[in-house]
């Protein structure tokens, strides 16, 4: 990322998700109860709580509040998984331009970012994107 955050994606039967930061790390291979017992202080960041994203979406349509997972956050969150899957399928390192949302100098990887659209959707897409 521009701010220096580095993302490493690996695949294999013994891999899980592990987040490392300046104050420690967390993994989905750890005991989830350890997280449940962690107390978040009053001055620390508290995330929006939602136990049911479907219900949260309907409630927010009715109330006009922002959802627990706004579209932009959802898009940015899943992008990394899609990019990792493309890199694993191609079995190569890839350079990503987050502003253009395209791979640098890799037409094959860029062709895997979306499926080919049928008409009339392809024309409508080109009209709004260009």
Q: Is residue 15 very low, low, confident or very high in pLDDT (cuts 50, 70, 90)?
A: low
Q: How far is CA 84 from CA 40, 100, 106, in A?
A: 31, 17, 15
The pTM for the full model equals 0.61
- What's residue 78's pLDDT? 86
Enumerate the H helices of 1-130 as residue ranges.
32-36, 53-63, 71-90, 107-111, 121-129
Which tokens go with 34? Answer: 């350890």
Residue 81, pLDDT > 60, answer: yes
pLDDT digits (tens, 9 = 90+) for 24-42: 877 777 776 777 788 889 9
Residue 18, pLDDT > 60, answer: yes
Distance of alpha carbon 94 from alpha carbon 118, whole angstroms? 28
């Amino acid at each position: 990322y521009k701010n220096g955050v580095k993302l490493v994606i690996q695949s294999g039967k013994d891999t899980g998700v592990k987040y490392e930061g300046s104050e420690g790390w967390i993994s989905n291979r750890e005991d989830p109860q350890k997280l449940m017992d962690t107390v978040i202080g009053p001055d620390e960041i508290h995330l929006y709580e939602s136990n049911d994203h479907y219900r949260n979406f309907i409630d927010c349509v009715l109330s006009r509040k922002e959802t627990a997972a706004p579209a932009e956050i959802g898009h940015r969150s899943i992008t990394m998984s899609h990019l990792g899957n493309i890199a694993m399928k191609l079995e190569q390192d890839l350079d990503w331009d987050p502003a253009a949302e395209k791979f640098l100098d890799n037409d094959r990887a860029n062709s895997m970012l979306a499926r080919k659209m049928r008409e009339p959707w392809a024309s409508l897409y080109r009209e709004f994107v260009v």
